Amino acid sequence: MTQSEIKAEILLPTNEIRDDIPFFTKTLGFRMDSIFPADDPTEASFSGHGLALRIRKGADVAPGVLRILTDDVGDFAQGQTALTAPNGTQIEIVPLTPMLVQPATKHEYAVRRLRDEAPWIIGRAGMHYRDLIPTRLGGSIIASHIRIPDGGPVPDMVHYHTVGFQLIFCYKGWVDVLYEDQGDDMMRLEAGDCVIQPPEIRHRVCHASPDIEVIEIGVPAEHITTIDHETVLPNGFGDPEREWQGQRFVHHVKSKATWQPFRIPGFTCRDTGISAGTKGVAGIQVARYDGGPTARTRHDSDIHFTFVMAGTMTLHAEDKVPRVLEPGDAFVIPPGLVTQYLDCSDDLELLEATLRGDGTTEVLIE
């Protein structure tokens, strides 16, 4: 039997089929395909909007909820977004294209330590997730520590995310990923490398080393992942200047990076180029301690997140208890809070994410 010989339909009940025909055809725009018996109809089938319905008098099923997705919500069903059919079926008219809603940031000072045994949750494609910002700052951001314990092939599909910003930073091991318009070969991210996944760029995770760990940052915290069953990757090279909703694809390679002064005295950093690629939406930098004296500072970024990749330090914050931090720990600093990084080990290395990426830092002179 071939796939073309198989169909599916949804069964709905009714008390009087004659009452439902004009509603489903004229109000909702379905096409009636069959009706019987002719002298006293008790059953009719309809199709439209990618759906097949059968309405049967006396059917022992719930009337259910029918959701119609359209980007012309105002022009469909005379602008009504909630209706009730004569047979009792609830009708919801909702946008077809997922809407990106960015919640206002609920600022807080927060520290998340690996040794506190935050739970690992099994998520998409069998990957393990650890939440680095439990409150998610009111839903404005999610930062996840992700690992794939066994490595090897990843059971992933071509997909994309409806996001405002998304970072994939390879913390340990390596991972092979295919990206839309980025060539015919898999892109390998090794420890210290990162990419931004611009909004709705198609991609698929293919293989990973047994010890793979990545840091993923997404804005907002809750965003839709859509499986793309039509796109096949790889798909060759596209326009290198292409933008996805104003952002370019950025692939930062650690081995090719140059180091420069950091926003905080006592540190140097490698700029990933992500602020330029996102036109200031976000800034991603890797900072390492260079042995010099640090200073008290405060910033004006809406979101300021840091992950400790190596080494140790003590985080001092105004009117807060000092916190000793180790690899795997993370912290969030709200705008205006005075902080200082002290007792820094020689191997201290930090991953810092700021949104926006073009904020300023004030160094406080003692």
Angle, CA 13 vertex, CA 8 and CA 14 arms, to 5° = 135
Closest CA to 179 of 204, 153, 161, 148: 204
Q: Please give the Cα distance from 279 to 277 (Å, whole number).
A: 6
- The reported pLDDT for the residue numbered 16 is 94
Segment 33-42, tens digit of pLDDT: 999 998 899 9
Topology of 256-364 in CATH? Jelly Rolls (2.60.120)
Q: Please give the Cα distance from 171 to 132 (Å, whole number).
A: 14
CATH 3.10.180.10 domain range(s) in the chain: 9-94
Say yes or no to pLDDT of 73 above 70: yes
First-to-final CA distance of the chain:
80
DSSP secondary structure of 130-181: EES-TTGGGGT-EEEEEE-SS-EE-----EEEE-SEEEEEEEESEEEEEETT
Sheet of strand 339-342: strand arrangement: 323-325, 313-317, 339-342, 296-299, 361-364
**Sorting pLDDT into bands at 50, 70 and 90, what band is 142?**
very high
**Sorting pLDDT into bands at 50, 70 and 90, what band is 124?**
low
**Sorting pLDDT into bands at 50, 70 and 90, what band is 362?**
very high
DSSP secondary structure of 213-275: EEEEEEESSS-EEEE-SS--S--EE--TT--BTTB--EEE-GGG---EE-SSTTEEEEE-SHH
Average pLDDT in the chain: 94
41 compared with 128, residue with greater pLDDT? 41
- The reported pLDDT for the residue numbered 100 is 86
The CATH number given to 9-94 is 3.10.180.10
- The reported pLDDT for the residue numbered 1 is 47
pTM beyond 0.95: no
CATH 2.60.120.10 domain range(s) in the chain: 110-252, 256-364
Segment 208-225, tens digit of pLDDT: 999 899 999 999 999 999
Segment 248-272, tens digit of pLDDT: 999 999 999 999 999 999 999 998 9
Topology of 110-252 in CATH? Jelly Rolls (2.60.120)
Count the Cβ atoms, other than its own, within 10 Å of residue 150.
9
Coil, strand or helix at 99: coil
What average pLDDT score do residues 167-178 get? 97
Say yes or no to pLDDT of 198 above 80: yes
Lowest mean pLDDT among 2-11, 31-40, 58-67, 222-231: 2-11
Say yes or no to pLDDT of 292 above 50: yes
